[in-house]
Structure 1
Amino acid sequence: MNEVDALDLVREALWTIIISSSPAVGAAMIVGITIALFQALTQVQEMTLTFIPKILAIFLALIASGTFVGAQIASFTELVYDKIEHGF
């Protein structure tokens, strides 16, 4: 294994992490912006108001995108095992 192969594997790992985490992060971001807008409009400045809606949104996003995330991780795992089996 040389540097190019190692960097390619790290690049694929980072891309898999970004793709797999994007549904949960996107849901949390949308809910966070919505709650922040609600707080700005009503001038309710409660710090703990965002936690429960964000947790629920992340949980629902993970349930909805579970097969997609699992497929991405399985694809990366197959790539790694294929590289191990056939050599770098």
Structure 2
Amino acid sequence: MIELIRSAIVTILTIASPVLLVAMGVGLIISIIQATTSIQDQTLTFVPKILAILGVLALLFGWMITRLTAYTTFLFERIPDLAG
């Protein structure tokens, strides 16, 4: 049971981290640009972040689905072990 929880957490972090890291990086870059140009518009970061996230999802969607499918297969293979 602990192995299932551990592998679930690892799978979640593996799939979510590229998207989160790109969003954080784009937000940091836009914030630095805003600070250097003295632009104080808070909504300026949304469009670049959304475009970057959509780009990462478009590039990594196949890999993400493969990882989730492998984890789902792993879970279904473990059902008999959990029942008995």
TM-score by length of 2: 0.91
Q: Deviations over 1:4-53 (max 9, x none)?
A: xx221111111111001112111101110110110111010111010111
Counterparts of 1:64 and 1:23 in 2: how far apart (Å)?
11
Structure 1: stretches of 5+ with no match in the other structure: 1-5
Structure 2: stretches of 5+ with no match in the other structure: none
Runs of 4+ in 1 over 3 A off after TM superposition: none
Identity of aligned residues (%): 35
1:87 aligns with 2:81: yes
Q: What letter matches 2:17 in structure 1?
A: S
Work out the number of aligned pairs and report it. Answer: 82
1:19 aligns with 2:17: no
Quote how far apart the aligned CAs of 1:79 are. 0.6
Q: What letter matches 2:64 in structure 1?
A: V
- Please tell me the root mean square deviation across aligned C-alpha atoms, in Å: 1.0
Quote how far apart the aligned CAs of 1:83 are. 0.2
1:45 counterpart SS class: coil
Q: What letter matches 1:13 in structure 2?
A: A
